[in-house]
Chains A and B, each alone.
Chain A
């Protein structure tokens, strides 16, 4: 279990309870259960307390928690017959972006998402979920495929943002992001997107421009990282708490602004505390949102999707 800095007091209590139980396992005469249970209770009260009203910055930390389920976990658990399709037919296959054909509740779909990796090796392989131009171009290709064969598209968004690298710029990541967003607005099939962790700026928009956007309770979606915003506007990257507050990047604020359509509740203490329950909740939401799109013609879908984005923001926080 990885603890976040604000969870330190919790780590201590949970650690103590664990120690007690370990002691009792080695020493049969010891009865620690009552004491351990008291600590459990204290821990769970503290957890509720900590997570009752998470500050925006803490939400950023939870959204980036390394133990949260990632794209690959959702695909494995929620889809059957997942058949990865690789490559942008131009330059390379981008491992920061997973995608392919699959079934969701028996329905053939195309699923696409950012994968951050879960240990040092896979994180490097996945470039920490930061796509290069080939990732967006692969997504465009898969969305085109979905459009031609009338398959709904599900995207799972979890990226710090586009990759600030020489090659990515040279190969036109601006254009690649723009084309992916454009494709999202063109396809004549339902497009459902879920932000499962971090929705980092243009890299997220490229996949999250959808008929319905759901966000996990502690996920974020932002024009810039709080650290980046702090270093530009406050001239001090340490002001990320203030920046996170000002940017209104939480799922709750995005719902109020009309950017997110649906919030998926996370287990107490965040997705990382009960990965299976989180994955199940996301699956339920995807099913419900796909059902909302059921039976709509391609033309209707595209028209409504474009209208949604044209109207967006007109009411501010009162939306």
Chain B
């Protein structure tokens, strides 16, 4: 918290609430409604500077913030068959894929990479919720298998950031088969004695939770992430049970023994460094020794000054 968030921010919001916002520069926090500058939000890793709500973060931005100096090398994922079932609902699956690729600029719902985190080399995977809900199909399965194989080959810890609505229905049974498939990948890591750390982010549900996301050596979740097999709406509709406050959220799962920790995104990198170094028998991280990550800037646009207030400087 600082004077900007305490004082300027509410004023800006009250001024802007009745005006049209230049949408490309501002994002509204869906938790507290605060209008946030893109640049400032990005520098805060897409966590609301007002209420700490963790918004989705794209895998590339996540990796840029995670790896030392933002440097990582992407690992190639073997391409699966496209549209193995010739699936068609109201749209053809290939058309849905193309639309997702256009809107995200990514090939698929998972990015895998190798690089250094606090000078420890690791392999990391991050699931992209903005790509068809992060859904797990053959590509995601291939990515996890490829990442595990790389980790085994180079004897590196594997950190996976999960985010998915579940399995990709358009790949039918073959998406379901990614549950055993990714489980085999986890077993490769385990047999090689390599740490497998899962960071569960909002939301992690369905077949993803019921396979690789719940098989980590360590389970860390970001605050208030929905983590479940059957979602709250499904439960309320089918069983008509009323659900308690915070049900299936990170803190609730922590209380029920399913997670090791709930960690703020801003502290995640340091925490991962500590855990990786402890698990791999490395000496403690020395602060000065560790290169700081570069701040990430998704869009280079300069903030437009709001009409009656100074454009807030980043704090």
Contacts and interface: CB of A to CB of B under 8 A. Distances in A.
B87 A246 contact: yes
A67 B238 CA distance: 24
A178 interface: yes
Given A164-B238, A172-B256, A205 B174 contact: no
Contacts of A165: 230, 235, 239, 241
B173 A259 contact: yes
A173 B173 contact: no
Given A171-B256, A310-B181, A316 B228 contact: no
A222 B172 contact: yes
B207 A316 contact: no
A309 interface: yes
B247 A229 contact: no
A181 B180 contact: yes
B163 interface: no
A164 B235 contact: yes
Interface stretch (A182-190, A264-272, A292-300): A182-190
B85 interface: yes
Contacts of B241: 165-166
Interface string B121-165: 000000000000000001001000100000000000000000000
Contact of B175 (A177, A223, A310): A223
A174 B214 contact: yes
Given A202-B207, A248-B172, A177 B229 contact: yes
A313 B207 contact: no
Interface string B85-98: 11111100000000
Interface stretch (B15-23, B182-190, B290-298): B182-190
A45 interface: no
Contacts of B89: 233-234, 242-243, 246
Contacts of B84: 257, 313, 316-317
A175 B171 CA distance: 23
Contact of A169 (B90, B180, B230): B230
Contacts of A313: 80-81, 84, 138, 141, 171, 174, 177, 181
B118 to A, nearest CB: 29
B278 interface: no
A159 B180 CA distance: 18
Interface string B167-201: 10111111111011101101100000000000000
A246 B169 CA distance: 10
A128 to B, nearest CB: 11
8 contacts: A173-B229, A174-B210, A174-B258, A205-B176, A205-B210, A233-B170, A309-B180, A317-B85
Interface of A: 162-166, 168-175, 177-179, 181-182, 184-186, 201-202, 205, 209, 221-224, 229, 232-234, 242-243, 246-249, 253-254, 257, 259, 306, 309-310, 312-317
Interface of B: 80-81, 84-90, 138, 141, 145, 167, 169-177, 179-181, 183-184, 186-187, 206-207, 209-215, 227-230, 234-235, 238-239, 241, 243, 247-248, 256-258
Given A249-B173, A306-B184, 6 more contacts: A166-B239, A185-B184, A223-B173, A312-B174, A312-B177, A317-B85
